[in-house]
Amino acid sequence: MNIRNFSIIAHIDHGKSTLADRMLELTGTIEKRKMMDQVLDSMELERERGITIKMQPVRMEWKSGGETYVMNLIDTPGHIDFSYEVSRALKAVEGSILLVDATQGVQAQTLTTLRMAQESNLVIIPVVSKIDSPLARTKEVKEEISNLLFVDEKDILEVSGKTGEGVAHLLDEIVRRVPAPRSAHGGDEKSFQSLVFDFKYSNTSGVTVFVRVFDGEVKKNTPLAFKVSGRTFSATAVGIFSPLESPRESLSAGEIGYITTGIKESAIASVGDTVAYVHDRREPLPGYASPSPVVWASVYPESQDDFDLLKLALGKLKFSDSSFTYEEETSGTIGRGYRCGFLGMLHLEIIVERLRREFSLELIVTTPSINYDVALKNGKRITVFSPALFPEDHLIEKIYEPWVRVRIITPSDYLGNIMQKLYDHEAVIGDSESFGDNRTSLTLEMPLRELMRNFFNELKSITSGYASISYESLPLREADVVKMDILVADEPVIAFARIVARRRVQEEAEAAVEKLSRILPRQMFSFKIQAKAMGRIIASHAMSGMKKDVTDYLYGGDITRKMKLREKQKKGKKRMKERGVVNISQDVFLDMMKPE
C-alpha cells in the first residue's frame, strides 16, 4: 500500500482548515453536495470562532503518476495554547506542510510550530496560501520563507484554499517529497505496535483510541494491551477516518486509524501509550512528554446541587482533552469545586464555555493564576496553585515563579509603543532583528504572571492587530509578589484573591476595589469593599445601603410616632449590618474576571 502521512502546521488563521476542505473535495473524500466550510472543525465553538481547537485526522486517496496513494492528513490547531495538540500530531506523520499566509507573512507561531516539526525530523513542504487575495505579497513572503528554511524559492509552493488553485500540484508534491511511513522496529510483521496520539469516550462503545500503526497488523477481536497502563482488552472495532469513523477489516503498518477498546473506566488510556499484542515483549514506543499546565483557576457550580454534574462533565472533557487537569477542592465561602489546570487563557476560556454549553452548567470561575514555589522559613518548600492557599507573609522566606521566553514579530513602526508596554510588564529585552517587509523580530523574557496580565490584548491593541506572539517556558526565578485579598462586608471572597507584583499592589488594589464597587449591586445595608495586602487594608470603598423613609405613609400627628419608627428602622439596619451577608451573583464574578 502506498501511504503518505502528513500534517498542516501554521499560525492561527493562515488557512489550514480551508486548504483541508479543498483537499477533501479534490480527492473525492467528501461529495461536493455534502461539502461545507471547515469540514474537519466539527466542534460548534471551532466554527463560531473560525479556529481549530482539536486535531482531526482524515484519510484521502489520490492518484499520482499512475498509482493510487493513501493520504493521511492530520489538521492541527494554530493557536499557541494548543501547541501540545500539534506536537502529538507530528509524532504520527513523516512530513508537514508549513503554511504561510501571503497577506501576513511569517508570524511568531509559525516559527514555534516549524521548530517542533524540525525536532521531529519531518520533511517540511513550504507553502504560501491565500495567493488569490488582492493584499497578497506572494513574492516577498516567499523570500521570507526562503531565508527561514534556507531553500530555493522555486521549491516553495503557492495555493489558494478558497479557489483551489495549486492544491492538485501540492498533493503531487506531497507524494514526491514525503517519504513512505517508517517502521519503529525494522518492519516486524509478526507483531503489532501502535502509538496512541488521541482518544475519546462514548457511553456505548467506551474508549476509542486514535493510533498510528508502526508495525504489524490489527483486526477486530484481536487481544491487545496498553503497554504503559498494562490493561488488556479485545478490539471491538478498528477503522479509519474518512473523515467520520469508518470500520475496516484491519489496520496495518503505516496507517492512521482508530481502535475501539470497549473499556468504560477512566485513567486507562493515555496519550503516548503503546497499544500492542498481549504477548508483545518489546519496549513501548517513544511517547510524549506530559503537558504542564501554566494557568490555574478554580471552578465551582453556582448551585452546590450541580456538583455531581460538574464532576461528570470534567471527567468527560478530560477524555477529549488530555492536556486538561483538575482535582477537587473546597472553599469555605463558595463550597465544593475543582482546581483546574490549563495550557493558556484561551484553553481556559474554551473549557469553561464547553461546560456551559454542553452540560448547561452555571459556574463561578476564580481569577486565573499560575503556580508558585514558596520556600518557607521552617525550611520546607511548597508549590501553591491558588492565591487562596498562599501562606502568610511572615512564614515566607522566598517565592519563585515561572518565566517565559517570548518572541514578537511586529511592524517596526510600533516598536516605541511596544517598548513602553514591555517595561510595564517587567520584560527583559534580548535580541532584535529585521525580518523583512519593515518588520522586526523581538526576543525577550518576562514573568508568566505578567504575560497573563492582559498582555496579549494590549499588544494587539497598540499594534492594530499586526503583531504576533509565541512563547516557551523557562526555569523558575525569584519573585517579588504579595497576596491581595478582596473583602466584602469584612469577609474575604476567595474567588477575588490574587497574587500581584509588590510594586503594583497599591495600583491593583485601588483598581479592583473601584471596579467591584461599580458592578456590585447595592444591598439593604451599608458595607465596605476593601483590598488587603501585607497585613493591612490598602484600599477601601464604602457602599451605602438602600434608603426608604418609613414615615412616608404618615400624615401629621404626633412627631414622637415618626421618631419611634425611625429609631426602629435604625436598629433593624444595625442588626442587618451585623448579620447580613452580601450575595455576589455569577455575573459579578464574570465581570471581575474580564480585563478592563
> Residue range 255-261: average pLDDT?
92
Output the pLDDT for position 345. Answer: 77
Spell 454-463 as b/e; 16+ CB within 10 A means b: ebbebbeebb
Average pLDDT over residues 329-345: 78
Minimum mean pLDDT range among 299-308, 350-359, 425-434, 546-555: 546-555
Q: Residue 202: what are its φ and ψ, rounded to 5°?
A: -135, 140
Percent of the chain at pLDDT > 70 equals 84
Q: In 417-427, which positions are buried (b, 16+ CB within 10 angstroms) versus exposed (e)?
A: ebeebbeebbb
DSSP string spanning 154-187?
GGSEE--TTT-TTHHHHHHHHHHHSPPPPPSSS-
Least confident of 150-164, 310-324, 446-460: 310-324
Label the pairing between strands 67-75 and 3-10.
parallel
More confident residue, 247 or 596: 247
Q: Is 344 left (phi over 0), alpha (psi -120 to 50) or beta?
A: left
According to DSSP, residue 15 is labeled S
Q: Please state, as a whole number, how many other Cβ atoms lie within 10 Å of the Cβ of residue 435.
A: 19
Summarize pLDDT for 264-275 with one digit per residue, the tens: 887 787 778 889
477: closest CA among 408, 399, 417?
Answer: 399
For 63, list phi and psi in degrees, rounded to 5.
-95, 130
Q: Is 92's pLDDT higher than 50? A: yes
Nearest in space to 390 (alpha carbons), one of 492, 503, 516:
492
45-61 pLDDT, tens digit each: 544 555 555 567 889 99
User: Is 374 strand, coil or helix?
Assistant: strand
Give the Å distances, CA to CA, from 5 to 59, 490, 575.
9, 61, 72
Output 117 or 540, whichever has higher pLDDT. Answer: 540
Q: What is the mean pLDDT of the chain?
A: 83
- Closest Cα to residue 224, out of 268, 267, 180, 184? 268
- Do 125 and 10 form a contact (C-beta atoms < 8 A)? no
What domains are defined for the chain? 3-177 (3.40.50.300), 193-277 (2.40.30.10), 295-365 (3.30.70.870), 373-479 (3.30.70.240), 482-593 (3.30.70.2570)
Please give the full DSSP string across 251-264, using - where no structure is assigned: EETT-EEEEE----
Predicted TM-score of the model (pTM): 0.73
Sorted by sequence, the CB contacts under 8 Å of residue 168 that are 6+ apart come out as: 26
CA distance from start to end of the chain: 57
Residue found under cell 484519510: 59
Cell reading at 333: 465561602
Mean pLDDT calculated for residue range 477-493: 90
583's enclosing H/E stretch is none
Q: Which residues pair with 528 in a beta bridge?
A: 542
Q: Is 5 helix (H, G, I), strand (E, B) or coil?
A: strand
DSSP label at 304? G
- How do beta strands 527-533 and 491-492 pair? unpaired
| Residues paired with 382 in a beta bridge | 374
What is d(CA 97, CA 8) in angstroms, rounded to the nearest whole number?
5
Is the pLDDT confidence value at 332 over 80? no
Could you read off the pLDDT of 377-418 as tens digits, one per residue? 999 999 988 887 888 888 999 999 999 999 898 888 899 899
d(CA 205, CA 91): 26
Q: What is d(CA 505, CA 482) in angstroms, rounded to the nearest whole number?
A: 8
Residue pair 282/185 in contact (Cβ under 8 Å)? The answer is yes
Which of 29-33, 111-115, 336-340 bottoms out in mean pLDDT, i.e. has the lowest? 29-33
φ, ψ for residue 582, nearest 5 deg = -85, 115
Antiparallel, parallel or unpaired: β 527-533 and 536-543: antiparallel
